[in-house]
Every structure is written in C-alpha cells, then in structure tokens.
Amino acid sequence: MVIFVDMDEVIADTYGAHIEVYNKDFNENLTLDFFHGSEAWHKVPKDRQQSVRDHARNRGFFRNLKPIANGQEVLKKLSEKHEVYIASAAMQFPNSLEEKSEWLDEHFSFIPWENRILCGHKHILRGDVLIDDRSYNLKTFEGRSLLFTSPHNVNTTGFERVNNWLEVADKLL
C-alpha cells in the first residue's frame, strides 16, 4: 500500500508554532482553545492577520516545529509494512524547502529522501491513502482520504476523520 502523509498539522505542529510566535510578538497568552474552528490568522485582530500569515516566510519557522504526538512511532510501524511518503505542499514557501528536509532528517530519519515529496497540487499523487488536514487536497485524491483533525478543520464534514495518530494506527496498522 502507498500512503501519503502531509507535514504541517499532521506530523508537524505548525498551528502550535503560529500561536507561540503570535504570543511572543504581541505579548499575548492565547491558547489552542481560542482558535477552535478557524485558521490561526482569522481569529486575531485584523491589523495582526498579515503578521500571522507571514510566519511561514520567516527563516527557521518550519525548522523548529514540534512533532505531533505519536506520529513518529505510528509512521515507523506503518513504514515497515507499507510504502510511506511524506507529501507537503511546500513549494509556496521556498524558504521552507531545505528546513523541511532537515526537519525530516531529525524527526523522521526512517523516511528516506526517495520517499519525500515537496509539491503544490496533490491530485498528481498516485497511491492508496492520503492523510491530510486540508479538504481541498483530500477531495481530488483518487484513493482513501483521511482528514487529520486540526483546529481549522473541526467543523469540516464529508470525510473519514482521524483525530490523532493513535486513531490512524487503529485504522491502518
């Protein structure tokens, strides 16, 4: 089985980093609960929205993300049985490309370079499973689509949902 796994919000805690950087920049103490059901940049005051959107263009932002809980253990087991690929729509942020490669070297070294994909549209992927937090990626995938829960997609319906990596393990291992 060929399994594609998105990076941001699926194996890497990008949302958490947005909040952390925002709190530091504006001396705030917002927590994840506050962002429930929306994009990080939608919930903050209008004059701070561009600042949050621009996090992704900052050098170091993607390099220092924390791994999402249990992703490493579950993907390690999955990759022993299946062909696991990391597929991130990273081409939008050229500054992120090398950082993402280094981040994978550090946290997912068992996924070799041959199994890493930095792309844009994901409907060009041929395989059996796609685990992603974005419905527009899942919608066009030909195989089984799993919506990985993130604060911004909690109200999205119409997809098979996984709330965390232990639920992925239940379904695929």
Contact with its own copies (CB under 8 A) among 39, 56, 82, 97? 97
Contact with its own copies (CB under 8 A) among 24, 33, 114, 155? 114
Beta carbons within 10 angstroms of residue 150's beta carbon: 21
Q: What token pair was written down for 12? A: 């890497």
What letter would DSSP give residue 66?
P
Helices 14-26, 46-53: crossing angle, 10 deg rounding:
130
| Rounded alpha-carbon distances, angstroms, from residue 36 to 2, 63, 112 | 32, 25, 34
Choose the stretch contacting its own copies; rule: CB under 8 A; options: 18-26, 66-74, 92-100, 152-160.
Answer: 92-100
Task: Give catalytic status of residue 8 as yes or no.
Answer: yes
Cβ proximity to its own copies, 37 vs 112, nearer residue: 112
Active site residues: 6, 8
Using CB under 8 A, list all residues that contact its own copies: 2, 4, 85, 91-92, 94-95, 97-98, 101-102, 112-121, 123-127, 142
